[in-house]
């Protein structure tokens, strides 16, 4: 059995990770931390796990040695505690944003402050399995991608690899769980209920990740018109729907788009191409992937312009966080990628 610990297990991503790892046949969950709730049962914050575990939260200072440490701490905390993590575990998988970017200048540009441990940037493998499977097989340090970055990169990368994209505008609609489980003015029910709120029309931090993978300096597939990103909060708890307007260099029809996406994803266990001729489920829908590790991708050509609309849907807490982390964990240990991630979602839900 692979002995694991979860640092910062009381949040939504930590709870999803605990749920997955408790059911994983090759894992023993040894410890889960929370400073605020130390001594309390984990099922106090994750009531869906009642009867499945008697684990109690411990403070970070009481972490003991393990094979893999998953960090679900708030932004900045993983960097502060990284020396402790490396002393406690052979491998670290960070679900936060601290080590996703290799370029310290990009980090400072998007996060507004210098990176506290710039010497470690670039040592973490960026944890989207569909991009970095071979690197993950040998990795000891993994930085899981941001949820908005994950859905956008998976939606667009095939077109960028084929160098058909001239520019792209990405609009993501996100559920409330993306903001975490700490209450705020924005999450107060009278303010959030019924709202459709643009909260990052420009400057979203996840754009740095998208640029680094798809259009960073010197990237062969970088579009001449750039990559533009906006985010809107909608009345949904889980999920992200990315609608990507891709302005292409030449006319493309559906047959060629099918060929491009099949070449990229035919053998991927968690990417599905969703494009039906009729019916209400002919395009990706976040509701249909809730609780699963799938990314559903669809597309439509604009007959009046050189524009392709690519749509992609994920559960932000699964393929955008805990599910992606477990998929990377499986690859790191030579396990089948689907291990512990077989849940297909619910319908209706």
Active site residues: 147
Tracing tokens 């990377």 back to the chain, one arrives at: 328
- Quick check: 85 and 78 in contact, CB under 8 A? yes
Sheet of strand 307-314: strand arrangement: 197-200, 227-233, 165-174, 240-248, 307-314, 295-301, 271-273
Give the whole-angstrom CA distance, residue 292 versus residue 311: 18
Q: What is the C-alpha end-to-end distance of the chain, expressed in Å?
A: 34
- Residues pairing with 296 in the sheet: 272, 313
- Quick check: 228 and 166 in contact, CB under 8 A? no
Tracing tokens 């524009």 back to the chain, one arrives at: 307
Which of these, 325, 311, 318, 309, lies nearest to 343 by C-alpha position?
318
């Amino acid at each position: 059995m692979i002995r694991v610990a979860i640092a910062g297990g009381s949040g939504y991503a930590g709870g999803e990770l605990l749920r997955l790892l408790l059911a994983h046949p090759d894992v023993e969950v040894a410890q889960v931390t929370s400073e605020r709730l130390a001594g309390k049962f984990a099922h106090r914050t994750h009531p869906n796990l009642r009867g499945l575990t008697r684990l109690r939260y411990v403070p970070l200072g009481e972490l003991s040695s393990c094979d893999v440490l998953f960090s679900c701490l708030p932004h900045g905390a993983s960097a502060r505690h990284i020396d402790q993590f490396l002393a406690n575990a052979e491998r670290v998988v960070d679900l936060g944003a601290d080590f996703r970017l290799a370029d310290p200048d990009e980090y400072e540009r998007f996060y507004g402050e210098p990176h506290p441990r710039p010497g470690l940037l670039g040592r973490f493998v960026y944890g989207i399995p569909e991009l970095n499977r071979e690197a993950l097989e040998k990795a000891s340090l993994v930085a899981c991608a941001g949820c908005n970055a994950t859905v956008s990169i998976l939606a667009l990368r095939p077109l960028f690899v084929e160098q058909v994209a001239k520019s792209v505008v990405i609009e993501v609609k996100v559920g409330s769980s993306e903001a975490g489980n700490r209450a705020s003015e924005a999450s107060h029910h009278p303010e959030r209920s019924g709202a459709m709120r643009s909260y990052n029309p420009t400057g979203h931090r996840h754009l740095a990740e998208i640029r680094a993978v798809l259009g960073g300096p010197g990237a062969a597939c970088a579009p001449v018109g750039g990559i533009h990103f906006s985010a809107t909060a909608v009345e949904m708890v889980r999920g992200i729907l990315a609608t990507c307007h891709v302005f292409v260099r030449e006319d493309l029809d559906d047959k060629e788009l099918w060929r491009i996406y099949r070449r990229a994803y035919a053998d991927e266990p968690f990417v599905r191409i969703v494009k039906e001729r009729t019916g209400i489920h002919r395009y990706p829908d976040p509701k249909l992937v809730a609780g699963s590790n799938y990314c559903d991708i669809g597309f439509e050509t604009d007959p009046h312009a050189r524009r392709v609309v690519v749509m992609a849907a994920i559960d932000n807490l699964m393929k955008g966080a805990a599910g992606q982390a477990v998929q990377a964990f499986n690859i790191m240990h030579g396990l089948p990628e689907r291990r512990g991630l077989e849940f297909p979602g619910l319908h209706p839900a």
